[in-house]
Amino acid sequence: MIEKNFNFFFNPISKTKGIGPKIEKLFNEKRIESNIDLIFNFPYGLIDRTHCPKLNSLEIGKISTIFVKVKKHNFPRIRRLPNTVQCFDDTGEINIVFFNSRENYIKEILPINSEVIVSGKINIYKNKYQITNPDYVTSVNNEEKVSKIMPTYSSLKGVSNKTINKIYENITKNIPDVEEWHRDIIIKNNKWSSFKDSLIQLHNPKKIEDLDKNSLAYERISFDEIFSNLLIFSQIKKKNLTIYKKPKFFSSEYKLKIIKNLSFDLTKDQENIIKEIEDGLIKDKKMLRLLQGDVGSGKTIISIISALNVVASGYQVALMCPTEILATQHLNLIKPITQGLDIRVEILSGGVNKKRQIEIKKELVDGKINFLIGTHSLFQESVSFKNLGLIIIDEQHKFGV
């Protein structure tokens, strides 16, 4: 039962009432494909229809909900002119204006002498109040059907706001109950509602503050999203620890030569980090390391020394950079350091001519290139290594890592 309930969130949106092929395609263009995508696309604002003034106190430009009586229809014979319905209350008059609406439809929703509720934006024409193409027209007996607080969502081309809101209303009504995954004490201390109720609250705001990112409902959903991502990363890490690789046996020949030629001494912390990376690479399990530090803390030299250890042991290294400028900077730094060593360092990027790119890819497969620096060009399927032993990603956040 629990699994079935969770499956709802990953069903395609086409199963939601009101979403046909055309609307599904429009949502897909916004990368909304499953129910969870749709549910997590929260409203960005709301329309307040609780303002219900008399006609003598209307405000131009404000959305208002008025209670009026129908006095007269005006259906001009010239097609480009709008149809108009004259209405009144005990304080004044207003025209309800319709473009592209048939006479029979207008007579049906606004019969003469009927008492109706009309909601829309107030404007003025020739010194007379009017509402053009109202959002709601209904009998005073159906007041509960008028959405006094209406959430507003990002638009879809050619789809009315009313249709979009109906879709979200349909899907929120069908959100299933799911078993609470937090301890009772966490829910109580934070004054949170359930996962389901928090989602419903965000799609049914009663006031603009309900959409604030400091609201309890938003706080709960944000926490759950972060929490679920941490669980996913934890599982990925566990899985990675079960992936075995061929252990590497390092020669420190290149490392000692480079350190000897440096114009500065490595700090104790830098030496410890190099040793930790070496220990990780020697093991028979996959190694992932995040090297973090301030500018000038020695991240680059640590990476180069670790990389040359791998090269000296018969493996190849790939260094990925987010920009061609940064890749070139690394090339200009590494080449002088490796001068006199039996190491081929090359760069592969969009700036390299096509003929040279083909040559580099062939030499890479043949094992003639030990150290390849590149941009997104390294992601190509046509790029293959003979014996890749280490991948270094510079400014990894720019690669989505």
Q: Residue 24 has which token pair? A: 């599904």
Q: Which residues of 259-268 are buried (b: 16+ CB within 10 A; e: fewer)?
A: eeeeeeebee
Give the pLDDT score at 4.
58
> Which has the minimum average pLDDT: 61-65, 77-81, 96-100?
77-81
Inter-CA distances, 175 with 71, 122, 200, 281, 388, Å: 45, 36, 8, 47, 48
Inter-CA distances, 250 with 254, 319, 334, 400, Å: 10, 19, 20, 31
Same domain, 184 and 61: no
* Domain C-terminal end among 146, 170, 195: 146
Q: Supply the range of the domain harboring residue 217.
A: 2-45+153-222
Q: The domain that contains 375 carries what CATH number?
A: 3.40.50.300
Give the pLDDT score at 131.
96
Inter-CA distances, 397 with 177, 178, 349, Å: 36, 34, 19
Rounded Cα–Cα distance for residues 80 and 69 (Å):
27
Mean predicted confidence (pLDDT) in 207-216: 84
Answer whether residue 146 shows pLDDT above 80: no
Helix or strand holding residue 51 (H, E): none
Same domain, 64 and 141: yes
Same domain, 64 and 100: yes
For residue 274, give every residue at least 6 positions away whose Cβ sits within 8 Å of its Cβ, in sequence order, or none: 255, 266, 302, 305, 306
Q: Tell me, what DSSP letter sits at residue 360?
A: H
Answer whether residue 344 shows pLDDT above 70: yes
Rounded Cα–Cα distance for residues 203 and 181 (Å):
22
Answer whether residue 398 shows pLDDT above 60: no
pLDDT 10s digits, 91-100 = 999 999 999 8
Answer whether residue 397 shows pLDDT above 80: no
In a domain, residue 363? The reply is: yes
Answer whether residue 46 shows pLDDT above 60: yes
Answer whether residue 60 shows pLDDT above 90: yes
For residue 64, give every residue at least 6 positions away whose Cβ sits within 8 Å of its Cβ, in sequence order, or none: 49, 51, 52, 53, 58, 119, 120, 121, 122
Give the pLDDT score at 349.
84
* Domain C-terminal end among 96, 121, 146: 146
Give the pLDDT score at 3.
52
Rounded Cα–Cα distance for residues 94 and 38 (Å):
39
* Domain C-terminal end among 146, 175, 195: 146
Give the pLDDT score at 240.
77
pLDDT 10s digits, 292-304 = 877 777 788 888 8
SS3 category, 148: coil
pLDDT-based confidence at 321, cuts 50/70/90?
confident
Same domain, 112 and 78: yes
Q: Choose between 79 and 354: higher pLDDT.
A: 354
Same domain, 33 and 64: no
Say how many domains are in the chain. Answer: 3
Same domain, 300 and 376: yes
pLDDT 10s digits, 240-273 = 777 777 777 766 777 777 777 777 788 888 888 8
Q: Residue 301 has which token pair? A: 């030299």
pLDDT 10s digits, 368-396 = 998 899 888 887 888 888 888 888 888 75
Same domain, 281 and 366: yes
Give the pLDDT score at 401.
47
Same domain, 56 and 37: no
Sign of CA pseudo-dihedral 332, 337, 340, 346? negative
One DSSP character per residue, 334-351 reads HHHHTTTSS--EEEESTT
Give the pLDDT score at 91.
95
Mean pLDDT of the chain: 87
Give the pLDDT score at 128.
93
One DSSP character per residue, 208-252 reads GGGGSTTSHHHHHHHHHHHHHHHHHHHHHHHHHTT-B-PPP----
Beta bridge partners of 371: 317, 345
Give the pLDDT score at 1.
44
What percentage of the chain has pLDDT greater than the value 70? 96
Q: The domain that contains 54 carries what CATH number?
A: 2.40.50.140
